[in-house]
Amino acid sequence: MTALIGKVRRPGLAAAAFGARLLLAFAVPSLLLAHESHPVESHPTALNADESAFLKENDAAMTKMMNDMAVKPTGDIDRDFVAMMNPHHQGAIDMAVIELRYGKNEQLRRIAQEIIVDQTQEIAAMKLAIGEPVTDTAPAPTQPQLVPPAQDHHSDMQLNMPAGTKH
């Protein structure tokens, strides 16, 4: 009987030893690969103007989102959920707009456009679900807003009229 008890204890010890060996087997190669040399040129240290602006705007969007998500509970779980999710979705919209403003990858730009549409629709659906009015939406600005030079009424007409037409 004593021999049987000794064998019952050993499998636990054996399992622990096996687990430790398995852990080392996965950890050691990862540590060795982490120390491979990487060419310095592949990781530029200086940020260009677009990347700097992107990071600044993205940080502002994230900060706004996190601050706006910190809502005081009202006792109505559904309203609290919407109150937290709306800023979360708006943060995704804001970050997608920033991607459209600075990003170059066409696939990511399309995904960003889908995010804007999807998240805007979800915000509206959540508001409707709790009986809140849905506000009108405006197109998401993807370029810095430039104010066009003032034009008088006549110059507008000339731009829109076919050639040779007198006003």
What's the mean pLDDT in 94-99? 97
pLDDT of residue 163: 46
Domain membership flag for residue 113 = yes
What's the mean pLDDT in 124-148? 72
pLDDT of residue 77: 95
Domain membership flag for residue 101 = yes
pLDDT of residue 47: 78
Domain membership flag for residue 61 = yes
Domain membership flag for residue 82 = yes
Which pTM does this prediction carry?
0.56
Mean pLDDT is lowest, of 29-38, 55-64, 101-110, 111-120, for: 29-38
What range defines the domain where residue 69 resides? 46-129
What's the mean pLDDT in 98-114? 97
- Distance, CA of 125 to CA of 134 (rounded, Å): 8
Most confident listed range (4-8, 40-44, 123-127): 123-127
pLDDT of residue 11: 54
Q: Which residues contact 157 (CB under 8 A, 6 or more apart)?
A: 167
Domain membership flag for residue 93 = yes
Number of domains in the chain: 1
* String of DSSP letters for the chain: -HHHHHHHHHHHHHHHHHHHHHHHHHHHHHHHHHT----GGGS-SSPPHHHHHHHHHHHHHHHHHHHHH-PPP-S-HHHHHHHHHHHHHHHHHHHHHHHHHH---HHHHHHHHHHHHHHHHHHHHHHHHTTPPPPP--PPP-S---PPPP--HHHHHHHHSPTT---
What's the mean pLDDT in 59-87? 95
Domain membership flag for residue 36 = no
Domain membership flag for residue 99 = yes
